[in-house]
Amino acid sequence: MALSPVLTEDSKPVAPLLWVLGWARGVEREALRSHLGQPLHIETDSTRTFGGDEDWWLYVNDEREKLAICLRVPYGDAVMYSSVQSVSPGPELAKLLAPWSVELFDKVYPR
C-alpha cells in the first residue's frame, strides 16, 4: 500500500537497518498503532531489544532503500531507521509520525 508518493509498506526485511535517522518521543503504543496500523513485527524478547517490547513497521522508498519505524514501547520512543548511511530518507519517514514532534538528526548514527 502506498503511504505517500515516496513510501510504500514493506514486508520483507532483507536489508539490515543499521542507521538511525531520528525519533519522536512520548509516543504511546496504542496511539501509534491506531495511526500506522498493526506493526509488521513485534519483538517481545527483551534480550533482543532495549529492554522491553518493540513494534516494527517497515517501508521502502522509490530508491528501494529499506526504512523502518521502531517503537521502543517502555520508553515511548519511535525511532526511525534506514538501510543506507544517509539522512535523505528522514523527512519523508518523519511525515508518518505526524502529529508527534520529530527530531531529525543532522547526521545518521549507527544502531
Q: What is the pLDDT of residues 56-110, one digit of tens each?
A: 999 999 988 999 999 999 999 999 999 999 999 999 999 999 999 999 999 999 9
Q: Exposed/middle/buried for 92, CB within 10 Å: 0-12, 13-18, 19+?
A: middle
Q: Which pLDDT score, from 0 to 100, does residue 13 have? A: 66
pTM beyond 0.85: the answer is yes
Is residue 55 within a helix (H) or strand (E), and if so which, with residue range?
Answer: strand 54-60
For residue 10, what pLDDT band results from cuts at 50, 70 and 90?
A: confident
CATH fold label, 8-104: Double Stranded RNA Binding Domain (3.30.160)
pLDDT higher than threshold 70 for residue 5: no
d(CA 26, CA 7): 24
- The residue among 79, 88, 78, 89 whose CA lies nearest residue 111 is 79
Rg of the chain in Å (alpha carbons): 13
The domain ranges of the chain are 8-104
d(CA 47, CA 45): 5
